[in-house]
Amino acid sequence: MTRLDAGLIATLYRAACLAELDALKPGNVHAYAAGHRMVVADFVRSAEASAAPLTEAGAGVGARIRDGVAATVAAVGQNTNLGILLLCAPLAAAAERGQPVASVLDGLDGADSAAVFAAIRMANPGGLGRAGRHDVAADPPASLLDAMAEAADRDRIARAYVTGFDDLRTIGLPALAEARSAGLDPSWCTTAIHLAYLTAVPDSHVVRRHGAAAAEALRREVATACAGLDLASRPVAPLLALDAGLKARGLNPGTSADFTVATLFWDALAAAGAAPA
């Protein structure tokens, strides 16, 4: 595997964040429509602010996440990208070290655990609730992977840490490849990735805020609404109608958006020669 320098990794990260914003993603903030008291500019500033700490040469995964969250909160005054940073930090470290992401995850230590717990407390994501074990308000565990395993059945990002980012391999990257094979423009390829996540599994952010039943109902609703929809025809009107309906009910599939950024970032790193697999 090729080792990439921090500057290139940062450029690819920012590009992935901006590409995700350009795509029409029902329920999320995007170039076609704001939502959830946030606008595209918040996420543009977040990408710029977090790029340097996320790609700091030699930094641990946890430090990249913690410092990325701190930079984001300082820049925009709220949490806009905790999930993105949790997913992209191991990929950035893997690209810098020339290692598979699974090796990076296996090497996580107590310092990573402490830094990630600090990042989560700083970001204070909505609907986090309390946990019986490894609650973020308590002292961090010695093993970050143990904490992620504890949450894996209710949070797809935690699950990614204990499955070697399996969702990217089985949902996001295949959706991107299929969209490209169909000749879709880049922004519509990104929409295809987002819809693949949104229809494949219940969105974790919706689970936290509204419960598992609501998240599953949302998954089925989007799957029904998008059945037979040809993204090559650029179906802006029906997707915007779906988008407006989700936002009117306060449903924000933010985890699907986070995985969309991570998929684009993985793909870009692989194209540069640093395949995370």
Cβ atoms of residues 214 and 170 within 8 Å: no
Q: What is the pLDDT of residues 89-103, one digit of tens each?
A: 999 999 999 999 999
| Domain range list for the chain | 1-277
Mean pLDDT of 52-72: 97
pLDDT digits (tens, 9 = 90+) for 123-176: 886 544 444 444 555 678 888 999 999 999 999 999 999 999 999 999 999 999
Tell me how far the alpha carbon of residue 211 is from its chain's centroid: 20
Whether residue 74 has pLDDT greater than 90 = yes
- What's the average model confidence in pLDDT over 247-264? 96
SS3 (DSSP) at 274 = coil
What was the pLDDT predicted at 133? 44
Higher pLDDT, 119 or 130: 119
Query: Tokens standing for 86?
Result: 């949790």
- The residue among 164, 190, 163, 166 whose CA lies nearest residue 179 is 190
CA neighbours closer than 13 Å in the CB half-sphere of residue 78: 10
pLDDT band at 21 (very low <50, low <70, confident <90, very high): very high
Least reliable range by pLDDT among 15-29, 119-133, 237-251, 261-275:
119-133
Residue 70 has pLDDT above 70, yes or no: yes
Nearest by Cα to 30 from 153, 191, 232: 191
The chain-wide mean pLDDT, for the chain, equals 92
Between 127 and 45, the higher pLDDT residue: 45
pLDDT at 126: 53
Backbone angles phi, psi at 33, to 5 degrees: -165, 140
For residue 275, name the pLDDT band (cuts at 50, 70, 90).
Answer: confident
Amino acid at site 235? P
Helix (H, G, I), strand (E, B) or coil at 138: coil
Q: Is the pLDDT of residue 1 over 80?
A: no
Does domain 1-277 correspond to CATH entry 1.10.4200.10?
A: yes
What is the tens place of the pLDDT at every residue in 180-211?
A: 999 999 999 999 999 999 999 999 999 999 99
